[in-house]
Amino acid sequence: MFLESVSLGGRPFSDEPYEFPPRPGVITFRFSAPSYADEDGILFRYRLAGSEDEWSEPSSDPVVSFARLGKGEYELEVTAETTRGERSPETLTVPFEVRASLYQTPWFMGGFLLLIIAGLLQIPTLRARRLEAERTRLEVLVESRTKEIQENALRLEKEIQERREAEEAREELEVQLRQAQKMEAVGRLAGGIAHDFNNLLTSVLGYSELLLTDVDPESNMAQDLRQIRGSAERGATLVSQLLAFSRKQFVDSRAVNVCDSIKDMAAMVGRVLGEDIRIELDLFEEPVWVRADPNQLEQVILNLALNARDAMPTGGALWLGVQKKTVSEPMHNAYSDTVPPGRYASILVTDSGHGMDAETLKRIFEPFFTTKEVGKGSGLGLSSVYGIVHQHEGFIQVSSAPGEGAGFELFLPIIDPNEEPA
């Protein structure tokens, strides 16, 4: 292997050892391997130690160029081989250096550092002069404005007083407006539920009373009708309590074993859902106590069951479960509440229905949002569930996907019934 020539920017460069000026242009090396009989079949590989570690791909071009190399010491290594893979036992090594730029030399950097130090030493003097000039300017400005401030003092005081009174009036009006808007929203919610429930309950109570007059009071049919009437009366109680809540009246909360509550509701839920939907219970073996209004808790389960029924028009399954759950880290949910750490009664209501997509999940708890046809739903069921759960200091999470059903999990704080006030 031989180095035939070296050029810089297209001009021959013969100074040895090869030392190139700072930030050189294109450095070109030409080499050859005359020891091979067939020079046209020679392939060359190269690498630049100090810049590259990998060998280049074989090439028949005996020329290699490098552009704008930085300062430093380099070694160009070149080897040759034939197209048949016979490699030369020798490696050509060409050491060369690219000199540092002027600003990279030690004496230049030392001089520049001295200039910086000299400039820093001048900063206190310059700053003192600037502060003195600024102080003089401010004194003149203060003197010129003093008379104007004194003349406007009474006027500004009067304006401030007027603004304070206007601000207090505005804040009072905002509080009243927010309260009115909140009460309007709650009133609309209560009115919508009352309207829908009253229409249903009127029919249920009327027909049950008519049927009771036509059957034997001691028969099984009469017992079932009385059960229907009792359920309808409990529904009327729910409506009245919801209306009472809209007027900020007392809600009757007490210690409730949610396992017993759901077990007692199973028969009524089954009759509401119909024969095409089976109900499966998975209740905790021991009592699970929470502080809740039993009627509102029944309303929550009933609303979720009715929502599940609408998602299973051709039948399916509804699972009702109660478990004790300890949350050690916040449980996040993309479409509903984040559950903070604590001990909870976990109430699961899961169906095998058609499920919901992401866009629906984002809005399911909004009042008056519904995917049903006009006139077939008020969109208040799930928003009522959300409000009641939060009123009981609980949380709700939902998970669903199209074709995979939907699951609602309610988290209500667990209590010790022995510590509850009588």
- Write out pLDDT tens, residues 312-331: 988 999 999 999 999 999 88
- What token pair was written down for 188? 């609309």
Rounded Cα gap, residues 98 and 18, in angstroms? 9
Task: State the pLDDT at residue 118.
Answer: 78
Task: State the pLDDT at residue 211.
Answer: 86
β strands within 14-121, DSSP E: 18-20, 26-32, 42-49, 63-67, 72-82, 92-98
Task: State the pLDDT at residue 346.
Answer: 95
Residue 344 sits at φ, ψ, to 5 deg, of -135, 155
Write down the pTM of the prediction: 0.46
Q: Which of 355, 344, 340 is nearest to 399 (CA)?
A: 355
Task: State the pLDDT at residue 179.
Answer: 40
How many angstroms separate the Cα of 143 from the Cα of each of 76, 133, 150? 77, 16, 11
Burial state string for 146-168 with b = 16 or more CB within 10 A and e = fewer than 16: eeeeeeeeeeeeeeeeeeeeeee
251-419 CATH fold? Heat Shock Protein 90 (3.30.565)
Task: State the pLDDT at residue 286.
Answer: 92
Alpha helix positions (H), 314-365:
358-361
Task: State the pLDDT at residue 63.
Answer: 92
Rounded Cα gap, residues 351 and 366, in angstroms? 21
- CATH class as words, domain 2-100: mainly beta
Residue position matching structure tokens 């009036």: 169
Walking along the chain (422 residues) 10 residues at a time, the average pLDDT comes out as: 86 85 88 68 84 81 88 88 80 88 70 79 84 88 83 85 83 55 57 68 80 84 85 70 46 87 89 89 93 88 90 92 93 84 95 90 77 60 82 91 93 87 56
Rounded Cα gap, residues 161 and 383, in angstroms? 45
For the chain, give every residue range classified as CATH 3.30.565.10. 251-419
Q: Name the DSSP class of 189.
A: H
Task: State the pLDDT at residue 38.
Answer: 61
Task: State the pLDDT at residue 212.
Answer: 83
Sign of CA dihedral 215, 270, 394, 383: negative
Q: Which of 12, 18, 9, 28 is nearest to 99 (CA)?
A: 18
